[in-house]
Amino acid sequence: MKRQPTSMSEFLTHAHGALLLNDARTPRDVPAAMVENTQLPGDLRMPPTTDLVISQVLTRSFHVTADLGSGRFSGHAAPLDFVVISPGVAGHGRMAATAHLLSLGIPADLARACLELDPGEPLDFGPLHADLQRDPLIAHALETLWQELGRSDPAARLFSDSILAAIVVRLARLGDARARAQQHRGGLAPQQSARVIEYMQAHLDRPVTLKELAAVAGLSPWHFARAFHQSHGAPPHRYLTRLRIQRAQELLRRTRQPVGAIATAVGYSPQQLVRHFRGLTGLPPSEYRRQH
């Protein structure tokens, strides 16, 4: 049986297919490792590892859709943007173009020690796992650490240890700041709203739970429901109903599909469609089609 990778560096240096290894720096006297890869357009799936992983874009911009354990998101990844994956969490990304990436793997126990966390306590940086991030201090630290891991003098180990600690603490500070900013605004961030609505529109033909939508936004269901209502003026289920009826209206106007098929396409039974459609438009679907 093939042995599963146990660390970020082991996975990235032995990966096959569209993930190409450019360089790896894994000195024995430094607990962390860095790997430089080229990912061809397509999927990159990283299994759960024992490391806290930071993966940074080096060159070229590209569109990415990803899920790092806190829900699906998409955006335009530019040089120096990075993502953060917690230990034990699988990561998945789909790149629309060739991606040149620099990844750092910090053993979970070392990261916890930097934050004075108890053994086994989750390494969760909240909003940082739910989107692309950018921070000049992290970018500079990754560049400096890459250079230091290529040195063999005794001072490199001491300097590398201090940089690793600074990166972990900086991530914790950024995560706290993002969470406080979200709470202060009260509503969803624009990117969160866009991801949630995109997810709703992509799943109009089946039931969608509050828990699902909260995961897309990277929030707890309770916090998500409050934030969504503040941003959109309606609870998530009511907004979703509105989207379903808008899709039904479009199908009634532009197609000859029977009402029963349209109901299925928007996740309703025919009776449910009639009830919700009449509630929002004042007309049953058949009369709306006749008038339009």
Positive/negative CA dihedral, 154, 158, 163, 164: positive
Residue pLDDT, tens place only, 150-201: 888 888 888 999 999 999 999 999 988 877 776 665 688 877 888 899 999 9
List, in order of start, the domains of the chain with CATH numbers: 8-185 (2.60.120.10), 192-291 (1.10.10.60)
In this prediction, residue 5 carries a pLDDT of: 54
Lowest-confidence range among 113-127, 184-198, 227-241, 275-289? 184-198
- Indicate the average pLDDT of the chain: 89
287 pLDDT above the threshold of 80:
yes
Bridge partners of residue 57, in order along the sequence: 101
- In whole angstroms, what is the distance from residue 13 CA to residue 35 CA? 7
* Tokens standing for residue 30: 């430094």
The reported pLDDT for the residue numbered 201 is: 92
Contact 71, 217 (CB under 8 A): yes
- The rounded percent of the chain whose pLDDT value lies above 70 is 96
Categorise residue 84: left if φ over 0, alpha if ψ from -120 to 50, beta otherwise.
beta
